[in-house]
Amino acid sequence: MPPGMGGRSDKLFFYALLPFAAVTVALFLLLFKVLVGNSLPIFLREGFGFIESSVWRPSETNPQAEYYGMLAPILGTFYSSIVALLLALPASISLTILIDEYAPHGLRGHLVNMVEIMAGLPTVLYGLWGAYILAPALKSHVMQPLNTYLGMIPLFSCTPTTPSTILTAGVVLAIMVTPFMTSIIREAYESVPLIYREAALSIGAARYEYVGIMMSIIKPAVLASILLGFGRAAGETIAVSMTIGNSFSISPCLFKPGYTISSLIADQFGNAGFYHYMTYALYGAGFLLLLIGLALNTLGLYLLVAWRRRLEAR
Amino acid sequence: MRGIMSLTVLAIIVLAGFYEAGVLLSTGSEGETIVIRGAGSSFLQPQLEAWIQGFMRYDGKIIVEYQSVGSGAGQKQFFQGLADFAGSDPPLSHDDWEKYRGKVLQLPVILGAVAVVYNIPDIPKSIHLNLTGEILAGIYKGTINYWDDPKIKSINPGIADKLPHREIIAVHRSDASGTTQIFTTFLRKSAPSIWPKDLVGKTIDWPVDKTGRGVGGKGNPGVTATILSTPYSIGYVELAYALEGNLGLAAIRNKDGVFVLPSPRTIKAAARHALESGLMPSSPEDDFSGELNAIIYAGGSDSYPITAFSHIIIWAKYNSEAKAEALRLFIQWIYTEGLNYIVEGYVAVPPEVARLGLQASSLMEG
């Protein structure tokens, strides 16, 4: 029995909570089982080909000819998420410092509220805005100049033709994960014990030196926010599907359309029943996504917990 | 103690909610009204909604519900017994028909067309670009890359000097769809030497994607939006989306070599020629899997070549007599009164097909 359980009412309370907790755990296990069970056929059939090749070959009439290789969506998932993180990380660190160090007291609360609201907005709004307003603007004001002046760099080497590209999806994702990462970093920043702050100020550190010292203290939390932010970005479906171009292509260039695992599943699940192996393939892709997410989230949470423990131990 | 109190209150509220729902459900089935549930094609939905509203105004006792979940999911729900009828753009595959032979009836309820639309700022919308199956196949294969390709110029002599030297962006559906099946069937039939057999289906591995000039949009709205925001792009959508007038509409060369625009007249003509060809099934119990082949790229100088039927699939026998009767009434209504409720962008089936549909309602048993 957990500690502090004495009275009858405490026990009752505990038993009342138990079913809800049990249901949550059971649901997760069930989800895992369903994913494994349904993706097994495709892994057995295609083996490593499923993740090594980039093929989308459905066939209604001849299941033997069906083949699914997820390399393009796998790479697209990483590519768009990494672009998002590269943009979101400096933004969230700056936002944290701005809110905690520079913003006047009256404005601070409003800024914090705004960040929280942005984190909670329905993702389809970001998708709509990204597809109709951001994408054309990015194409003419960012992609075209980059291509003209920095075209020798492979990332910018292709002439931008469509507004829906890896870069567009990356920017939309960056805007979506920035509030999320900001709350993690800000929470860590604010939980640095007062002694450290006073110590830094007492040696006569300038504002930016002080911020530098603080940032070095919360480095693990920043790393954790990157990993958790990646999980967020990789799992996003609708906003990505509306901006990435949904094309089975692999290219180092940022101005080409691509695909992600999440948007592929969202796109194809409705009619997958027409095919013999497609449902398995989509479950398989979902399973890959779960593995990636699980690994990164575990690592991120582990880093956060370890860091908190270290702070407390000192 | 307070924790327990609030939990108890919560439990009561939840239980009350269930009870409420239970009461609502039971009055639904005990009353005189009969509910028919359909699921499937999203293409069919606007038309079916118009029919359902008209029919329910005419017959107050039958409630028809339709969920737009996609043709594939609709067929699945129908066979699993979750839906009383399926709305499906493509008819049943030969294998499925064989499996349920004699037990299912297929009804072509409406005609639709796939329009080829483009966004070329240099060409006014009043001028319609001429295109052929070979050129479209070349574009989606990635072998015709520029709008001023000699092949495009030669069939558009009037605007040949206006066609820009710009790369063509080929937009396609990113989700599996009957529209893609119709379009790729047309590419295969009109350009068999360019478009291979394994690139025909509801979702395919688009060769143009490999060149980085292929873009996928989800659903007809997604494709339309992508074309609108992408200058020098081309794509295919259901006719209703092309009629909104924001995009250029292409005239497509039919089997007789005439360039035709999609319109009720040219779509009906394609259906008539398909019927005359003798390739169309003559009973709802027949195998419809060859129907697409008959109507797409059909003969006749006035036929629009990318035309297709959309279907309702029903059981020949239902467990409940009342349900069968209700469905029978609904189907009879669609093929008689329903002809006055055709939504823009759709075209009513010719009388020969309506007769086939009415025949189905007499084949049904309760």
B119 lies in the same domain as B134: yes
Model confidence pLDDT, tens digit, residues B71-129: 888 898 999 999 999 999 889 988 889 999 989 999 999 999 999 999 999 999 889 99
| Chain B nearest-CA residue for A237 | B218
Q: What is the pLDDT of residue A3?
A: 60
Q: Are A166 and A83 in contact (CB under 8 A)?
A: yes
Task: Quote the ipTM score.
Answer: 0.75
The reply to whether residue A270 touches residue B218, judged by beta carbons under 8 angstroms, is: no
B118 lies in the same domain as B166: yes
| Chain B nearest-CA residue for A135 | B229
Q: Which amino acid, B186?
A: F
| End-of-domain residue from the set B268, B288, B322 | B268
B234 lies in the same domain as B335: no
Does some domain include residue B27?
A: yes
Q: Is A157 within 8 Å of chain B by CB?
A: no
Q: What is the pLDDT of residue A154?
A: 87
Q: What is the pLDDT of residue A6?
A: 63
| Chain B nearest-CA residue for A67 | B205
Does some domain include residue B334?
A: yes
Residue B78: Cβ within 10 Å count: 24
B73 lies in the same domain as B88: yes
B79 lies in the same domain as B118: no
Model confidence pLDDT, tens digit, residues B317-336: 998 888 999 999 999 999 99
Does some domain include residue B85?
A: yes
Number of folded domains that form chain B: 2
The reply to whether residue B167 touches residue A159, judged by beta carbons under 8 angstroms, is: yes
**pLDDT band of B43, cuts 50, 70, 90:** confident
Q: Which amino acid, B85?
A: F
Q: What is the pLDDT of residue A4?
A: 59
Model confidence pLDDT, tens digit, residues B120-173: 999 998 899 999 999 999 999 999 999 999 999 999 999 999 999 999 999 999
Q: Are A184 and A221 in contact (CB under 8 A)?
A: yes
Q: Is A148 within 8 Å of chain B by CB?
A: no
Residue B256, judged by CB atoms within 10 A of its CB (0-12, 13-18, 19+), counts as middle
Does some domain include residue B325?
A: yes
Helix (H, G, I), strand (E, B) or coil at B14: helix
| Residue B167 domain boundaries | 114-268
B177 lies in the same domain as B92: no
What is the CATH number for B107? Answer: 3.40.190.10
Mutate to test the interface with A, among B80, B168, B205, B246 (most CBs of A within 10 A): B205
Q: Is B40 within 8 Å of chain A by CB?
A: no
B105 lies in the same domain as B120: no
- Dihedral sign for Cα A45, A47, A49, A55, please: positive
Q: What is the pLDDT of residue B15?
A: 47
The reply to whether residue A248 touches residue B209, judged by beta carbons under 8 angstroms, is: yes
Give percent of chain A with pLDDT exceeding 90.
Answer: 46
Does some domain include residue B169?
A: yes
Domain ranges of chain A: 65-313
B137 lies in the same domain as B64: no
Q: Is A254 within 8 Å of chain B by CB?
A: no
B104 lies in the same domain as B136: no
Does some domain include residue B302?
A: no
Q: What is the pLDDT of residue B305?
A: 96
Model confidence pLDDT, tens digit, residues A163-204: 899 999 999 999 999 999 999 999 999 988 888 888 988 988
B101 lies in the same domain as B119: no
Domain A65-313, CATH among 1.10.3720.10, 1.10.10.10, 3.40.50.280, 3.20.20.70: 1.10.3720.10
B94 lies in the same domain as B132: no
Q: Which of B87-96, B222-231, B253-262 has the highest mean pLDDT?
A: B253-262
Does some domain include residue B281?
A: no
* CA B139 and chain centroid, separation: 23
Does some domain include residue B277?
A: no
Closest chain B C-alpha to A285 CA, distance in angstroms: 16
**pLDDT band of B249, cuts 50, 70, 90:** very high
User: And the tokens for A205?
Assistant: 């550190």
B76 lies in the same domain as B132: no
Q: Is A73 within 8 Å of chain B by CB?
A: no
Stretch A240-245: mean pLDDT, rounded? 91
Q: Is A37 within 8 Å of chain B by CB?
A: no
Q: DSSP E strands: which ranges in B240-335?
A: 248-249, 251-253, 259-260, 307-315
